[in-house]
Structure 1
Amino acid sequence: MQRRLSAILAADVVNYSRLMGADQTGTLSALRAMRRDLFEPAVANHRGQIVKRMGDGWLVEFVSVSDAVDCAMQVQEGLADHDLLRLRIGIHIGEVIFEEEDIYGDGVNIAARLEALAEPGGLLISDSARNSLDGKAAAVFSDCGPQSLKNIARPVSVWRWSVGGGAPTGVVEPLALPEKPSIAVLPFTNMSGDPEQDYFADGITEDIITELARLQSLFVIARNTSFTFKGESRNIQDVARTLGVHYVLEGSVRKAGNRVRVTGQLIDGKSGGHAWAERYDRDLADIFAVQDDVTDKIVKALKVSLVGADELPERAETAAPEAYDCVLRGREQYRLFTKEALANARALYERATAIDPAYAAPYAGLAEVCLHEWFLGDAAAIDTTFELALKAASLNPDLPLVYEALGNAYLFTGRHDEAIAAFLRWIELEPNSAEAFANLAGAHVFNGDPEKVHDLIAKASRLNPVYPFYYPLYRGQAYFVAGRYEEAADFIKRAADLNPASPHPPMCLAASLALLGREEEAKAAVAATYAIIPDARLGSVQKNLPFRRPDDLDRLLGAMRRAGFTD
C-alpha cells in the first residue's frame, strides 16, 4: 500500500447507458476512437497516468494540478464539436492510497463527486486544486461557492470552467451575503481536558445560536451547518465565505466543579479583525446570564437595529444547574437516534423534571423522545407526546422546541391545520430556524399544497447550507403531488445521495420512476429499499405518509405497487 499527494482527474462519458442502448456498436466505436486519438495522447502529453479504467470513465493521476487542468481543457475543447460524445471532468488534489490494482482516498472521492456535478463538456475543480494554480491559470475559473458532495462530511468550495462558459446544473451559485447582519456561531471548544464534557460546550453553543436565531433583524446560520466545523482547524475568513455570512463567533468553555469560564470573540469575516471579545468567569448558576450577555454584546457589536418582533421574552429557564446539565446531556443522547440513546435521553430529561418540575425544556425534550418512539412502533407514545408538549407549552409558551414536537404530533395524526399553525408559531418565535421552515414545508406536502414547499425549503437551505436529506425529499414529494414526476425523481435522487441509509428516498423514487415508465430503474430503487429494510411493506409505511387528500396517498401507493412493492 502506498500513500501520496496527487492531482486526480475523474472523467465520465455523459449518458453512456442511453447511448449504448440506442447504438451499442456505434457508441463503442466512437469511444475507442476518442480514447485513442484524443484522451490518451492528452494524458501522456501532460505527464499523466491512467490508474483506473471503467466502462465509461477514467481516473488519472498527474504530477501537478496544472498538468491535470491543461489536459482536461484540451480534451473538452477537442470534444466540443463531437457529434456523439461529451465528458464531465472533476479535479482535486489530495492524499490517495494505491493498493494492488485499486486507488482510493479523499483525492479520488472528491474528484469523482466533482465530476458528477459538472456540466456536459465542463470541468469542476476544488478550491485546493485552484490554489495550486498560478494567477493566470486560476483566473479562467468561475466561483461556484461551497457545494455539499455525497459522502463528504464538509462542503467543498468549487470552481468551474467550460468551453461554452455555461453553468453546470448540479452546482449552486456562491452564497450571497444577506441584506441583514449575518453570523455563524461555530462550536465552542471544550477546554476542560475531558472529552466527556463536550456536551456542555456544545449545549452552550446551541443555546447561543437559538437566542440569536430568535432575532428577526439578524441572519443566523443553523446549528447543523455550524457543527460541521467542530474539531476542525479553520480560517475564519474562509468559513465566512463558505457560509455566506459577514461575522463568525467562536469561543471556548471550561467547566470545573461549580465554576465555568466562557470566552467569545466575534470576527469580521471580510477583514479578519475582531469586532468584540470577552471572557466570563462565573458560577455555573449564572450560565444563562452569560448567554444573554453574549447575545446582547453581539447585537451591539453588529449595530443591529432591533424591531418590535425582536423583543425577546424573559427567559423561563431553571435556577437549578443540575437540571440544565441533564437537559444538555439529554440533547446529546437524543441526537444519536438509537434505542439505547433514546432511553438515556428519556432518563436524563425525567431527572431534570424531578429536579425542577417547572422547567419547560425537559418536557419538550421528552415529547420529542416520545414522538420518535411512536415512529419506532410504540402506538401509545403519541398520546404521551401531546401531553408532554402541552405541559411544556403551559410552562413556557415561548419555547420553540414545544412547537416542533407539537406540530409533528398534529401532522402525523392527521390534524393538518393545527400542525401548520404550530409550525407558523415556531417561525414567529424563531425566524432564523431552518428546521421550522423545513417542517412547515413538510406539512404543506402532506396538506396538498405543493406550490408552497419550494420557497420554504429554499429559505431553510440558505440558513442551513449543509442541509439534511429531507430538504430535497420534501421538494421531490411536492413535485410528485403536483404530478411532475421527472422533477420529483431528480430531487429524490439527491435525497438518497445525502442519506443512503434512509429507506424513504428509494421508496418515493421507485414510485416516481414507475409513473415515468422507467421500470428497470424503479426495480433498482425497490431493491435499494429492501437492502435497507428487508421486510418493507406498504402497510408499514403509511403512517409516515400523512396525506390529507386520499387521492395523493392512493396515487403514491399505487405507483409503489407498480414498481414492485407489496402490501
Structure 2
Amino acid sequence: MKRRLAAILAADIVDYSRIVGTDEAAALAALRLFRAEVLGPTVAGHRGKIIKSMGDGWLVEFSSAVEAVNCAIQTQERVSDNNLITLRIGVHIGDITHEEDDIFGDGVNVAARLEAWAEPGGIAISDSVYLSLDGTLTPSFDDEGDQELKNIARPIRIWTKAATTVERKVQNRQLRANGYSQLSISPVATSDERMDVQELAEGLTGDLDDKLTAVRWLTVAVREKPNPQDYFMKIVLRTRDDRLRLEVRLFEPMGRQIWSNKYDGNLSESFDWQDTTGEAVSLEVISKLLDAESDRLARIPPQDRTAEECLVEGFMQIRMGDARSFGDSLSSYTLAIEKDPELADAYGEAIWTTYAGMTVGFDSVEPFYKKQFQDWVARGRRLVGQSTILSVAIALADFQSNRDATPLRNAIAGALRRNPTDANVLSISAWSAIWCGETAIALDCFRKFERFGKFHPYSVPVRGGSALAALQMGNDKLAISVAQEGLKLSSTYPTFHAVLASAYALSKQSDKAAAALAMYRELVPDRTISSWKAMNDYGGSEGGKRYFEGLRMAGLPE
C-alpha cells in the first residue's frame, strides 16, 4: 500500500440521528439536495475528491491545504441558512493510504478529531494547515493553542473559524431578496454511469458555480428546480464512447430561452477540457446576462428603479475602468443612496470608487469628492455593521485624512475574516492594502480574486492592482507582463500605462517608458508626483517610493 501526503477534509452533519427521527423523509430529501447542490459541486470546484461517504459524514481529499480550507469555508457559507443541515468540518495535512474504497492514516485520524472538536457551523484546522494559508485566509481563524485530541498521541495546535452568525444569515437572506438578479444552475446531468464521467459532471457544476458566484450583481445557486424569478442554466453532458458533448441552455425568468451552445471534447483530455469549457461557458453566460440586465435596466426610467437596481448598475458601469466609467458608476451609487439612505453597500462602493478615482486622477470623480465624499463617510458610519465593504471604505477614508494605517489594516483583516471569498471584498481589501503599504497582503488578495472574480466588473482595476503590486515588490518583468495583458481588457485604464512607464524606466528601457508615460498623460493630463502623493503616497512604503521613482525617471513632472 502506497502512502502519500494530502489535505483531508472531514465533515459531519450535527445531530443527524435526531433530525432523521423527527422527520425521516424531510431529512433524506435535504441530505440528497445538499449532496447534489452544495457539497458535490463545491468539492469539485476546488479540485477535491470525495473519498468516503458515511451517510451523514464525508472524507474529502485535496492536493492543496488552501483548496481544502476554501472549500470548507464556501461549504459552510452555502449551507448557513439551511434549516435542517448544520455541519462541523475539520481539515488536516498528513499521510494517507488508500485501500479499495476506504482511506486510512494520520491525515484522516486527525481531520476526524478536528471535525468533532469544531463547533456546529464552524471549522477547525491543524497548525500545519494554518501555516499553508495566505493572508486572505489567516484572519478567519482564531488560535486555540495546543489541544489533546482523543487517540492522537501528541498535542495538536488548533485554529478555528466560528460558525456564521445569526446576523450574517439574516444578511445573506436579505442579499438574496434585495433585487439582485438570480441565477439557478442545474447540476450537470449525464446518463453515463462511468465514475470518471460522473466526476467530470460534478466538476463542471462546481466550476460554473465557483466562477459565476463571484459576480457581485448576481445571486447564484445550484438547484435542481429554479425559482420562477430566476435565470436558469440547464446543462447536459452527453457521451459516446470517449467523445464528450456539453449542451448548455440559458433561460430568462418565466422560461424563454435566450442562449444555447454545445462544447465538444474527449474523455482522455477531460481535465483540460473541463477547465477551458467551464471558462468559456462562464464568459458566455456573463456576457448574455450582462446584456439582458443592461437592457432590462435601460427600459426602466431612473426614477422608477429600485435602490438595488441602481447599485447593480453602478457595479456594471465600472468594468472598462476609464474616467467615464467611474463617473457613471458614482452617479448610479448616488441615486441608490437617494432612494434608500439605509443601503450600506451603496455607501461603501461610493466611497471606495471615489477614492480610487481620485488616486488614478480622473476629473470625472472630483465633483463627487468635493461635494459628497465626506457626507457619504459621515452618513455611512452608522451603517458599518451592516456591510463588510463599508467597514473597509470608512477606514480607508479615515486613513486618507489622518495617515494612520493601523485602523485600516485592522479593517482589512476583519473584512477578510468575515468574507474571504467575496470578490468585491477581495478587490477593495487589496487596493486598500496597497494604498496603506501592505503590498504582500494586497498581492494575496489580487491573486485570489483571479480565482473567484475573473468574470467580475472589477477585473480591470484588479489586473491593474496586480501589476502595481508586482512592481512595488520589485518584480518589474511580471509587472510589465500583467499590465500588457490588462491593456487587452481596457486600453483606457491609466494604471496599466503608469505601471508600464515606471517598470520600463526602472528596467532601463527609457524609450518604452516615455511612450507608456505619454499614453498615461493622454488619459490623465494634469497629474504630477506631488498631486499624486497628496492624495495617496502608498503609506510611505518602500514599494510606493519605488513606483514614484520609476515615474520620475520616465518623465512625470514633480
* TM-score range normalised by the length of the shorter chain: 0.3 to 0.5
The TM-score, its normalising length taken from structure 2, stands at: 0.43
Work out which of the two has the higher radius of gyration on C-alpha atoms and give 1 or 2.
1
Q: Which protein is richer in helix relative to its size?
A: 2
Higher relative contact order (CA 8 A, sep 6+): 2
